[in-house]
Structure 1
Amino acid sequence: MAATTGEKARLLDLVTSVLELVRDGQRKPDGVSRILQTIKDNPNFISQLFPLHAPVEIITSGNFHLQLLDWQRFFQEVRGVKVSLKHLRSIAIPQAKDEFSWLVIMLKDMTANQIYNSMSQRMKCGKYFDNLDAGNHDRISDHDYIIRVRPRVEADEEFKNFSANQIAQVGIKGMTTVERLQLEDFYHWKTRDHLDKENITLCTGSRVPGGFVPDVNWHSDDDEVYVGWCGPGSAGGHLRVREAVS
């Protein structure tokens, strides 16, 4: 896929900035040269320069210490927010079956728009709605809270062919838009990869104006995380809920 004018301009700006850092002695020439040589020689330079980390640690219920440490690092490295481990431990972890072993931590006042804008600085993103926070949501970040979801790259297969209306009828709670974006950002930071590359997460915990249901997945054709929507009665094999315990 050909680079856009904006992408080319950003690349030239980055190259110029790096050369200025080398000139001013703030970056080592040999290190920069090795990276550039790798990019020149290897079409798959991304996997060589940024090998995948181990998958997000899957820890059984009642022992989430390593995940809390990861979230502490994530908030500081990605969001620039310093939060103590003591504070993260003070946030109630909901009781759930051991299979719900991924934590998703939401700090007070975090919004979908903020997270989307932060993600856009590090990966390509697209959205159908200008304001991702508009509408109604089962949970909002007026306080710190944690939800638990199953440790899966793809949304829950148990709920394929279920519409948002059907999910509500059987009493299953799904993720909100902001929670799904938070999990995407955390997962990408941890693994250098993306969620829902084959399927789509229906964010049934949210409703945008008009009663539509937001959805999130990785668009491989466009190499972007995309926030779209579907009708509350829409169902299909690739439309799936991620059950959330709160």
Structure 2
Amino acid sequence: MNIFGKSKNNLEDPGKTSKEKIAPTQGVGDESMGYDPEQMNALVRTIIREDREQLQEAEVQQTQEDTKKLEALRKKMSKIIDIGTGDNFERKKENSPEQIRLVWQKFYQEVFGIETDFSKVEFPEDKEGFERAIIMAKGITTQQLIKKCREYFAVSDGVSKAIGEDLEGVIVSERSCMQESYAVLVQDLVEASRGKLKGFSADDAKAEKIATETLKERLIHELKYFLETGKHLDIESVTICAGSLLPNGEVPTVSSFKGNVLVVSKASNYSAGGYQPRPVIAKQVA
């Protein structure tokens, strides 16, 4: 911020030059500068105050604009998704598999511009605690998901920076949608740390043969949840995407911080604090 920039409400006549606005005071103040320090400080304080007020006004205006955009988006999405219940097994039992398939077909059509047919997608057997269904569309890539997420919120993708943009050819996952679409059931939790795998590393989950969210599943989970609520997952914790393995032996992790979704990686044996895999119920196993 340039505190000596032009102020919208100068203390002096705006027609005067800068030297006339802060006139030298003979025999008073800082002789090396030739200006009255008190007058200089008063002007600086005024400019800082005005700049702060303008910044606050800009922040409020930006927040209002973002809110309007989000509300418009949610209205658009509400036409194709029964907000909060459209893919939820527990909250709305009458949601048949057919209805859930239709919700996801419309989701991919509206958000990605992809025509899908999920009529043959089979759901895993329902299990208590796993209320949300996720359908992965055939052929969708990790980079497509990251790019689409960036249309709605910031994404810091440390994984692509570390191993290159062609993630599809190097990430090995428990399940793949490159040949066929499939569905999983996940826990409908904002924080991974409140799930059933507290203290588990990716290695622990694999040793126990527990299916967990892959990187793609976690990204589509994030995107759909955001479009439904305007909020992010894992604000206080981090999802270890134990269902995916990077070529360096590490596993991806996903979290959010101040509206920015972070995609990085950790050693497969890492477990600490709020880091935790998200378990899933799946029919397809790689």
Instruction: Return the TM-score normalized by structure 2.
Output: 0.64
Change (3 A) 1:63 1:43: same
1:241 aligned partner, one-letter code: P
2:232 aligned partner, one-letter code: H
Gap regions ≥5 residues in structure 1 = 1-37
Query: Which residue in the other structure is 1:189 paired with?
Result: 227
2:140 aligned partner, one-letter code: M
Q: How many residues align?
A: 204
* Alpha-carbon distance in structure 2 between the residues aligned to 1:78 and 1:217: 22
Native 8 Å contact 2:132 2:185 kept in 1: yes
* Alpha-carbon distance in structure 2 between the residues aligned to 1:115 and 1:242: 19
| 1:30-109 aligned within 5 A | 44-45=63-64, 46-47=66-67, 50-51=70-71, 54-57=83-86, 58-60=88-90, 63-83=96-116, 87-109=117-139
Compute the displacement of 1:160 (Å). 2.3
Instruction: Return the TM-score normalized by structure 1.
Output: 0.74
Compute the displacement of 1:163 (Å). 1.2
Query: Which residue in the other structure is 2:8 paired with?
Result: none
Query: Which residue in the other structure is 2:255 paired with?
Result: 217
Query: Which residue in the other structure is 1:5 paired with?
Result: none
2:114 aligned partner, one-letter code: V
Compute the displacement of 1:88 (Å). 2.2
Query: Which residue in the other structure is 1:200 paired with?
Result: 238
Native 8 Å contact 1:74 1:189 kept in 2: no
Compute the displacement of 1:44 (Å). 4.0
Post-superposition CA distance 1:37-92 (Å, at most 9, x none): x9886564244663577534432478345543432221121101133xxx323211
* Alpha-carbon distance in structure 2 between the residues aligned to 1:41 and 1:101: 37
Q: Higher relative CO (CA 8 A, sep ≥ 6), structure 1 or 2?
A: 1
> Is 1:165 aligned to 2:203, yes or no?
yes
* Alpha-carbon distance in structure 1 between the residues aligned to 2:158 and 2:85: 29
Native 8 Å contact 2:159 2:252 kept in 1: no
* Alpha-carbon distance in structure 2 between the residues aligned to 1:105 and 1:242: 16
> Is 1:110 aligned to 2:130, yes or no?
no
**40-49 vs 205-214, which deviates more?**
40-49
Post-superposition CA distance 1:152-206 (Å, at most 9, x none): 1111432222111112222211111111111111111222211111111110010
Gap regions ≥5 residues in structure 2 = 1-56
Compute the displacement of 1:147 (Å). 0.8
Query: Which residue in the other structure is 2:189 paired with?
Result: 152
1:239 to 256, 261, 275: 275
Native 8 Å contact 1:184 1:195 kept in 2: yes
- What is the aligned-residue RMSD (CA, Å)? 2.5
> % of aligned pairs identical?
25
